[in-house]
Amino acid sequence: MIIKKTVSLKEKNSFKIGGTAKYYSEPSKENEIIYCLNWAKDKDLPVFIMGKGSNVLISDQGWDGLVVNLSINFCNIIWNNKCANVLGGSQLNLICNQAVKRGLTGLEELSGIPGSVGGAVLMNAGAFNTTISDSIKSVRFYDCSVSKIDEIENVDINFGYRKSIFQNSNKVILSARLELKQDLSAQELEKVRADIIRKRNIKQPLQYPNCGSVFKRPDGNYAGALIEKCGLKGFRIGDVEISQKHANFIINRGNGTANDVREIIVKVQKTVFNEYGIVLEPEVIFVGEFEEPLF
C-alpha cells in the first residue's frame, strides 16, 4: 500500500479548491483501507475518508493528516437480480444508470448526483422525492473504535434528512447492499432519468466547479429561495460567487479560495438570519482548518 506525501487536493474535489494533504492514499481493497487507518492511528494522525469530493470544502491549508481516497480504486458494482452490492468508492450516478438499464426503480431520481456511494450513504443523499436510504438494505463498515468489520441493517442506521449514524463517527463505510424494485420498463425509466438530468442542467450551474447544494433545507422553507429574497444572487468575493442560476449553489469562476467560500457562507447565514430569523445549516462538509467561524 503506497502512502504518498504532500499531495494537492485541488483537482480531487468538484469545487477545484483546497490545499494539500500531508499524506494521501488510494486503496483498492478492504485490507488496504484498514492498513491505512492503522498506519495513521499509530502516528496519531487525523484521517479524512474521501469519495468523489462533491460535497466538501477543503481548506486552503489542506489536511494535516492522511486522506484515504476510495473513489479511484475501491469501486465495484455486483448485481444479483434486483440487488446490488456496491463498494463505497463507486460513483452513485453509475449505479443509477445501470439500474435504469436493468429496468429497476428506486435510484432514477438520483441520476446526475456526482458523489460516491459511500458519501451518499453518509449524507443520505437525495433529490426530488427520493433518498438513497429508500433503497439501502444494509451497509458494511469498519469500526475503528473496536478494529472490526461489521454490517448494519437499514432500520438501525438512523437515516434522516441529510443524516445517518455514520456522521461524526469512527465508522468507515466499505460497501452498501441495495435492493430495488421492478415496476417500470427500462424505456420508461430512461425517460424519467433523462427528465431528471434535463432539470438539473436547467436549474443548476453545472458549467462551473461547485460543491452542490451548500445549505440544508430549513423546515417549511427552501435555502435557495431565502438567499434569493435577500438579494444575494451574484454576490461575489474574488472568483467565488453565489450562482445567478440557483442561489443555494456557490461557484468557483477559476481561482477561488476556500477562505472566500467560507466568508460567503457566513455572509449568507448572517443575512438570512437578520431578515428571517432562520439559521441556515451548511450541507457541505468542511475539511481542515478555517479562520472564519460559522454563524
The pLDDT tens digits along the chain (295 residues) read: 899 999 999 999 999 999 999 999 999 999 999 999 999 999 999 999 999 999 999 999 999 999 999 999 999 999 999 999 999 999 999 999 999 999 999 999 999 999 999 999 999 999 988 999 999 999 999 999 999 999 999 999 999 999 999 999 999 999 999 999 998 889 999 999 999 999 999 999 999 999 999 999 999 999 999 999 999 999 999 999 999 999 999 999 999 999 999 999 999 999 999 999 999 999 999 999 998 899 9
Let me know if 90 is a catalytic residue: no
Let me know if 164 is a catalytic residue: no
Strand partners, 286: 57
> Domain containing 21: what range?
3-69
Q: Which of 59, 111, 213, 243 is catalytic?
A: 213
Q: In this predicted structure, what is the pLDDT of residue 261?
A: 97
- C-alpha cell at position 4: 504518498
Same domain, 42 and 145: no
Half-sphere exposure in the Cβ direction for 78 (13 Å, CA): 6
- C-alpha cell at position 96: 443509477
Same domain, 15 and 105: no
Same domain, 152 and 264: no
Residue 197 domain-assigned (yes or no): yes
**3-state class of 164 per DSSP?**
coil
- C-alpha cell at position 141: 463498515
- C-alpha cell at position 222: 427552501
Q: In one letter, which amino acid is 50?
A: M
Same domain, 175 and 255: no
Residue 282 domain-assigned (yes or no): no
CA distance 54 to 116: 8
Run of H or E residues at 171 = strand 171-179
Q: Which of 26, 109, 241, 283 is catalytic?
A: 283
Q: In this predicted structure, what is the pLDDT of residue 170?
A: 93
Q: In this predicted structure, what is the pLDDT of residue 133?
A: 97
Residue 294 domain-assigned (yes or no): no
Residue that terminates a domain, selected from 138, 173, 201 = 201
Let me know if 198 is a catalytic residue: no
Residue 291 domain-assigned (yes or no): no
Query: Given the C-alpha cell 420498463, which residue does it identify?
Result: 185
By the 8 A CB rule, do 196 and 128 touch?
yes
Same domain, 53 and 90: no
E-assigned strands of 38-135?
Answer: 47-50, 56-58, 63-69, 77-80, 83-87, 126-127, 130-131
By the 8 A CB rule, do 93 and 133 touch?
no
By the 8 A CB rule, do 75 and 89 touch?
yes
Q: Which of 162, 177, 193, 262 is catalytic?
A: 162
Distance of CA 151 to CAs 116, 119, 120, 143, 221, Å? 19, 17, 17, 10, 36
* Cα three-residue angle 243-110-58, rounded to 5 degrees: 50
Q: In this predicted structure, what is the pLDDT of residue 184?
A: 86
Count the domains in the chain.
3
Residue 293 domain-assigned (yes or no): no
Same domain, 90 and 192: yes
Q: In this predicted structure, what is the pLDDT of residue 292?
A: 87
Residue 57 contacts by C-beta under 8 Å, 6 or more apart in sequence? 15, 17, 18, 211, 258, 261, 262, 284, 285, 286, 287
The candidate with the shortest Cα–Cα distance to 219, out of 168, 286, 277, 157, is 277
- 218 burial (CB, 10 Å; 0-12 / 13-18 / 19+) is middle
Q: What is the CATH number of the domain that holds 32?
A: 3.30.43.10
CA distance 91 to 52: 8
Q: What is the CATH number of the domain that holds 149?
A: 3.30.465.10
Residue 242 domain-assigned (yes or no): yes
